[in-house]
Chain A
Amino acid sequence: MKNRELTDRVAAYAGSVVLGKERQIRLALACLLARGHLLIEDQPGVGKTTLAHVLAKALGLAFQRIQFTSDLLPADILGISVYDRDSAAFKFHPGPIFAQLILADEINRATPKTQSALLEAMEEQQVTAEGDTRRLPEPFFVIATQNPAQQIGTFPLPESQLDRFLMCIALGYPDRQAERALLQGVDRRELIEGLEPCLTAGELKTLQTAVREVTVADALLDYLQALIDHTRQSPRLQAGLSPRAGLALLHAAQAWALMEGRTLVLPEDMQAVLPSVAGHRLRPHARYGDLSREEMVAELLQVPVP
């Protein structure tokens, strides 16, 4: 299976830099193949930036990093028109968002106004600045990070904004063996500099198209609907998954099936992506306020396969 070889190659390539995080790498890759945006929630220093960077490199994408701060303005992201003396006209200077893979670091540090400028661009795939609408490059991915532990002076993303991210994953600490290799090895930044892309733009596009062509049988839709119904009926959850969340689950499962080398989606694929796709979209009911994402997802994973 050619598709699988390609994705395996990317995964192995990224895995050589970000050590011991195969599953997260594969999820991130699935997210990008499903044309979704990715949110990484974790501590500083666990390799969020490295992961984004290496993915950009591997896929041969133009990479931009935006460090979000509380004084960041929408124009700092989208771009600004400056008067050009030579041509005697305003000239648009595109902002960092005009790249193919954006790393929005610590997105919850910026004000809601700036956040929504980014999130709108993510949704529309275009930027409207000073009356002109400009298409963003193809493909266009955003990997945003936020640190959930330090919430002082931050603007947490509201549920409606979280919903725009196809997946939300955590990296976690590397295991002992990976950490040792990390400590012994060369600087990751240098390592990335020396790498060559392992996928052409055409191959990426083919893969993205192939994802949507992975077969989804009625039986699988039955399972997906059983999952959604459960979230809507469970007394422990405040609100069920939205239709958009259902589509997200479906596309992510298709991408996962493709990466597993299958032409059809199985319940296992759905279960594999479920924690990352559904976790950040579920809210516990007020009476079960101490329910964690893991517990909510675990409940969901108990839904019988029809």
Chain B
Amino acid sequence: MKARVLPADEFLLLALALVVAPHAVHLQPWVVPLAAVMGLWRWAAGRGRAGLPGKWFLAAMAVSALAGILLSHGTLFGRDAGVALLTLLGGLKLLELRGYRDALILVFLGYFLVATNFFFSQSVFIAVYMLAATLAMTTVLVGINHPGGERHWRVHLRLAGRMLAQAVPVMVVLFVLFPRLPGPLWGMPADSRSSMTGLSDEMSPGSISQLSRSNAVAFRVEFQGALPKTSALYWRGPVMWFFDGRRWKAGFFGRSATLRYTALSGPVNYTVTLEPHNKPWLFALDLPAVTPERARITPDFQVLSARPVAHRERYAMTSYLDYRTDGLTSLERRWSLLLPGEGNPRTRELGREWRGQLRDPAAVAARALRFYREETFAYTLSPPLLLSADPVDEFLFGSRKGFCEHYAGSFVVLMRAAGIPARVVTGYQGGEFNALGGYLTVRQSDAHAWAEVWLEGRGWVRVDPTAAVSPTRVESGIAAALPAPDPIPGFLKRDSPWLQNLRFGLDFLNGGWNLWVLSYNQERQMQLLARLGFGLASWREMAAGLLAGVAGLLAAFSFFMLRDRARARPDPASRAYRRFCKGLAKVGLERRPEEGPLDFAARVAAARPDLKPAAEEITALYVDLRYGPGAGDLAELRRRVGAFRP
């Protein structure tokens, strides 16, 4: 029952633990602990403290593991169930790890499990961690294959490190030149997308403040010219028209026939790298002026991608920060005045009252902003829930604590009640400039909502009621704007300079990784090759380049290895002696590696007395040449070996 302990046992367990550990977060909570128990069992068995289970027990365990996965996932296939299955089977294999072959299977399984980690996360940190895990796995592989038995683990680690370092150039060549398919090679399971965060085509009280708690990056922007001031950075997203008393909904999704606007200042050019959010919006500064490829601009200036953004996307944009929109269609006028048939009576009353007092729509808007500013409104990330049937009334005349969606929403209701066309615009405001990378990072926490009112002669005018309550929100960002006792999520706090630099550095690293590694698709490959002077490379040319690159690298490695070997090439006497030994090996007299020449000659003489004189003469000549002061007769040795016929 007790198994022979492989020397590399504990390192194998350690390496597998390294590989499997990240799965503890993604898999069902019982899977990784169960595998860990099996690993511990194997460890105890290796130390002679436990026996390994028998065949029937293992079979029962395997069946229960399958049943457990079926019960948890309803299938044995797919990403989660598949990885759980591999993890558990690896654990079971540990329990029958008895010999070299089992260890080899486990090492290969370990390599495969390294790859499965990228199903769950492709961040640069996981990549570095998995590189370390690969190194550990390779160390084990070197260990179980080391000729002449076991060495100190540092010796194996050094060799494994050298092998991986030699593989790096080949990896780079394959990465750069291997032909990329236009689409992904396999579809990622849908469950990985459902959790994506971002703005949607609906807005209700609390939806944006919820989003603001996420630190996830929404997009990164590189400006061609100077960075516009923060208070001008309104990143336009879904535009809301329809209000049902509580929720706002977007209206336009189709392409606009003509965009009617007049630019009042110079264009701002920039490139956005948008993180996938599984919705069609491509965010752009107010007012977007160009349409990226495979996208459209709606009449209310939303930029929509043809398909939901499921992969990181990069697009160049041009915007005009000062503009005047022209013309209001009758449909837009009707939509922008819509209010539900009933509800929120006090708000409507207030709007009508203002309109009665002030004829000018602009004055009404200003009056509303004064209302927000002068009454006791508070800007907070955790507003009280508005549960009554008239949430806008409750907010404006009751709680008076709200986040941007409360202010924007209630403002538009007030305007519409006063008969002024108005709509809600959601998106992001501001962003954090990363001086290290020279780009702006916009996070989900920068999500914002504001309003637009139609003023005759000026078109759609942006009004941000949140700015009236909390001017710092728009000027300095969300963290500065929230009042002190508000529970600010940790990441929003402004930290010490070096911590901020660290954050910038990590974000820069991640951004670069996303841009140059993860988003390296066919298009970018073509661009890169073009920049390297290969023009539009065809499939065949790329294959040829790939082969040539790999062959070149292999040739370079071979050259260095052969050169080393030539340096360590055995001297002529040794070569002649080896021929002699080879001849004897053919008749069953093999020299043991640790056997000295005289001992071997004595053994030969004892086994084959007829060979004794020849063997002794050859050995004497060889010993003189190899161990003597250097005055041996090489020609004679060669002659004798040549004539030696065992």
Interface of A with B (CB < 8 Å)? Answer: 215, 217, 219-220, 233-236, 263-268, 271, 301-305
Contact = CB atoms under 8 A, between A and B. Distances in A.
Contact of B594 (A215, A235, A236, A303): A303
Contacts of A233: 151-152, 155
Contacts of B630: 217
**A-side binding surface: helix, strand, loop or mixed?**
loop
Nearest to B591: A305
Given A301-B594, A302-B148, A302-B594, 17 more contacts: A215-B628, A219-B571, A219-B627, A220-B627, A233-B151, A234-B150, A234-B152, A235-B153, A236-B150, A263-B628, A264-B623, A266-B596, A266-B597, A266-B598, A266-B627, A303-B148, A305-B594
B593 interface: yes
8 contacts: A217-B630, A220-B627, A234-B150, A234-B151, A235-B150, A268-B597, A301-B594, A305-B594
Contacts of A303: 148, 594
Contact of B593 (A235, A236, A305): A305
B598 A304 contact: no
Interface in B587-605: 593-599
**B-side binding surface: helix, strand, loop or mixed?**
loop
A267 B349 CA distance: 109
B130 to A, nearest CB: 27
B629 A215 contact: yes
A219 B594 contact: no
Interface of B: 7, 148-153, 155, 571, 574, 593-599, 623-624, 626-630
Nearest to B599: A268
Given A215-B629, A217-B627, A305-B593, A268 B151 contact: no
A303 B147 CA distance: 11
A304 B148 contact: yes
Contacts of B149: 302
A233 B153 CA distance: 9
Contacts of A301: 594
A190 to B, nearest CB: 40
Contacts of B574: 219
Contacts of B593: 304-305
A267 B628 contact: no
Contacts of B626: 217, 219
B596 A267 contact: yes
Nearest to A301: B594
Contacts of B629: 215, 217, 264
A180 B405 CA distance: 110
Contact of B627 (A236, A265, A302, A304): A265
B595 A215 contact: no
Contacts of A305: 593-596
A251 to B, nearest CB: 16
Contacts of B627: 215, 217, 219-220, 264-266
A219 to B, nearest CB: 5
Contacts of A271: 596
Contacts of B624: 264
A235 B152 CA distance: 5
B598 A217 contact: no
B450 to A, nearest CB: 68
Contacts of B597: 266-268
B26 to A, nearest CB: 36
Q: Max chain A CB contacts within 10 Å: which of B151, B155, B595, B627? A: B627
A266 B597 CA distance: 8
Nearest to A300: B594
Contacts of A304: 148, 593-594
Contacts of B150: 234-236
A252 to B, nearest CB: 16
Closest 9 pairs between A and B when the two form their complex, measured CB to CB: A304-B593, A267-B596, A268-B596, A217-B627, A264-B627, A215-B629, A235-B152, A264-B628, A219-B626
A223 B594 CA distance: 10
A128 B571 CA distance: 51
A236 B624 CA distance: 36
Nearest to A299: B149
Contacts of A236: 150
Contacts of B152: 233-235
Nearest to B623: A266
Given A217-B629, A264-B628, A235 B151 contact: yes
A233 B623 CA distance: 29
Contacts of B599: 268
A87 B421 CA distance: 132
A239 B151 CA distance: 13
B493 to A, nearest CB: 49
B140 to A, nearest CB: 14
A66 B151 CA distance: 44
Nearest to A269: B596
A220 B574 CA distance: 13
Nearest to B573: A219
Contacts of A220: 627
Nearest to B595: A305
Contacts of A267: 596-597
A57 to B, nearest CB: 33
A234 B626 CA distance: 28
Nearest to A220: B627
A150 B596 CA distance: 38
A263 B630 CA distance: 12
A205 B627 CA distance: 25
A250 B109 CA distance: 48
Q: Max chain A CB contacts within 10 Å: which of B148, B150, B594, B629? A: B594
A219 B622 CA distance: 12
